[in-house]
Amino acid sequence: MKLRIDKLMLALCATLTFNGFASAFTLNRGQGGKPEPTTQAESTVDSENDLRRAIQESGGSENRIILNLEDYLRRYPKSARRPEIEGEIYKLALKLNDRERSIAYAEKMLTGNGNVIELLTTLVSNLRERRKGDDLDRALKYADRLVKDFEALVTSSAKPARMSSARWQEGRNQGLASVHLVRGRLLIDLGQLDRARSDLRKSYDLAPLAGAALSLSELAERQNHPDEALDYGLRAFAIALATDEEIDIRALRRRLSKLYATGRSNAGEAGLGDRFLKVYDSWMRENDERLANIEEPNINSGITDPLSFRLTKLDGSPLEMSSLRGKIIVINFWATWCGPCRTELPLFEKTIDKYRNDSDVVFLAVTTDEDRKQVPEFIRENKYKLPVAFADGLDAHFDVTGIPTTIILDRKGAVSFKIRGFNPKDDFVAALGDKIEIARRESAR
């Protein structure tokens, strides 16, 4: 807790420059010897001193720091730090599960600029849970804004260069599904069931989340459609088991038993297990198909020997790493979106040229790009003559967590050197050449 308060002090007080103000003003003493601000600079220093004092006197208590900061804002209502301080009070209120303050400060912060998606999501949730007065109506106003703002955000945002189009679309769909789910649940609370069904169906169709299936099940039960309620409930159960999405599995299990018994003379569960397995198998097939469209299949799944990997060249033909056994292999991991890679690749090409008559050393420029379509155009535009192949899991095998990374394998496929990052102060060609020669000598032993 003390560490959190220290960080807050640093965040709020990092820009204080008391020495710079010292020569800019003179303190006058009024009645009782108390300082009376005579200049804007003096007033600013008093404000910053009081802010520092408010934080220090909290004694490490997060509850106390909230009270001290609120007192500070009452004394300095026009403080330039007000948005920053209100933001810190809001974060502390969330941490302390202070719902009243969380709601109050969230609504204050919504008048500012910037991305408020997370703020709106939490505010809607808190109002929905509190349900005091017109809370649900206010929550719907914010939920409408949440959906509108998020739709505008995903429409205006450009796909990151490092991400495949399919993965980018999947992320957009999951985000849209989440905000429609937030509003759909709220609409159920408000009794606007047709609007709720529209939102929840859209959510589930965009991304099959257990939460959306569960809400659709509850809605169907409320509208007296027990078979539909059971079907969506079984889907929610299956999705929760197959993913890390958290729902109350035990409560759902009890509810499924009751739904299954509805309209049946035999109140037992005979047949429920078979029906669940059909739903589970169906969802798993759909999910496998969806994932296949997002990610390239790992053709090297389960392989532990790097020289048994099969990579894919730019023209789609295979590159069998086994064909390179017995040679020194120099692999440069890179991507089209990586700035340092763009600087290093021409130097890697120079190193290749340096060894062009040495059949004992082979080079590979292995791209980690998810969006494979961008790679051929990038190579053409830069007029590279690099031996390019796609990683196909080789980066994960070598635990490449950052690029550029260059790895040198000895004749047996063991790692001799792993060079992370690019240092512009180094002579890349000479340094890489030295390491290649060391690997060659050590392999000859």
Question: What integer is the mean pLDDT of 288-317?
Answer: 87
Please indicate whether residue 202 or residue 19 has the higher confidence score (pLDDT): 202
Structure tokens at 218: 């509850």
What is the architecture, at CATH level 2, of domain 306-443?
Answer: 3-Layer(aba) Sandwich (3.40)
- Phi and psi dihedrals of 267, rounded to 5? -80, 5
Question: What integer is the mean pLDDT of 189-204?
Answer: 96
Parse the chain into domains and list their residue ranges.
1-113, 306-443
Question: What integer is the mean pLDDT of 432-438?
Answer: 96
pLDDT tens-digit readout, 171-192: 899 999 999 999 999 999 999 9
Band the pLDDT of 20: cuts 50, 70, 90: very low
Question: What integer is the mean pLDDT of 206-230?
Answer: 94
Question: What integer is the mean pLDDT of 354-366?
Answer: 96
pLDDT tens-digit readout, 87-109: 999 999 999 999 999 999 999 99
Band the pLDDT of 347: cuts 50, 70, 90: very high
Structure tokens at 389: 């192949």
pLDDT tens-digit readout, 325-341: 999 999 999 999 999 99
Q: Is the pTM of this model over 0.95?
A: no
Question: What integer is the mean pLDDT of 304-325?
Answer: 95
Question: What integer is the mean pLDDT of 52-60?
Answer: 89
pLDDT surpassing 90 at residue 27: no
pLDDT the model gives residue 114: 57
pLDDT the model gives residue 48: 87
pLDDT surpassing 80 at residue 263: no
State the chain's mean pLDDT as an integer. 87
Q: How many residues does the chain have?
A: 445
Band the pLDDT of 12: cuts 50, 70, 90: very low
Question: What integer is the mean pLDDT of 52-67?
Answer: 91
Greatest CA span in the chain, whole angstroms? 91
pLDDT surpassing 50 at residue 34: no
Cα angle value 68/71/73 (rounded, 5°):
110
pLDDT surpassing 60 at residue 232: yes
pLDDT surpassing 70 at residue 21: no
pLDDT surpassing 80 at residue 256: yes
pLDDT surpassing 80 at residue 143: yes
pLDDT surpassing 70 at residue 133: yes
pLDDT surpassing 50 at residue 38: no
Please indicate whether residue 1 or residue 95 has the higher confidence score (pLDDT): 95
pLDDT surpassing 80 at residue 148: yes
In the chain, the percentage of residues whose pLDDT exceeds 90 is: 70
pLDDT surpassing 60 at residue 5: no
Residue 92: what residue type? L
Pairing label, strands 405-409, 415-420: antiparallel
pLDDT surpassing 60 at residue 160: yes
Beta bridge partners of 313: 389
Band the pLDDT of 351: cuts 50, 70, 90: very high
Please indicate whether residue 298 or residue 377 has the higher confidence score (pLDDT): 377
